[in-house]
Amino acid sequence: MEKKTMYIIDSELNYAEALWERLSRTERPLKDAEKPVEFWLMHIRRYLRQAEEGCYGTNKTPALEAVRKIAALSVRCMENNETPPR
């Protein structure tokens, strides 16, 4: 994977981690390692809808912001659920 791609995904993962660390345990009842695949897919679908909606105008920034989230959610899902090697 290109260095730029890794930076984009890593920066989103770091952003999300810092955000979640500020929340109390009651606001964030499950740790990422405790979340099933279905949890991650639900959020991926939500951001996929946002990405699709972001494509209607000429400014694709909202779509790309959602795509970045989808990439990070996908990585976290695979990190926290046993993913078969290739």
| Tens-digit pLDDT string for the chain (86 aa) | 577 888 899 999 999 888 888 888 787 788 889 999 999 999 999 999 999 999 999 999 999 999 999 999 999 999 999 999 98
Determine the residue type at 83: T
d(CA 62, CA 78): 25
Query: Is the backbone of residue 64 left (phi > 0), alpha (psi -120 to 50) or beta?
Result: alpha
d(CA 16, CA 25): 16
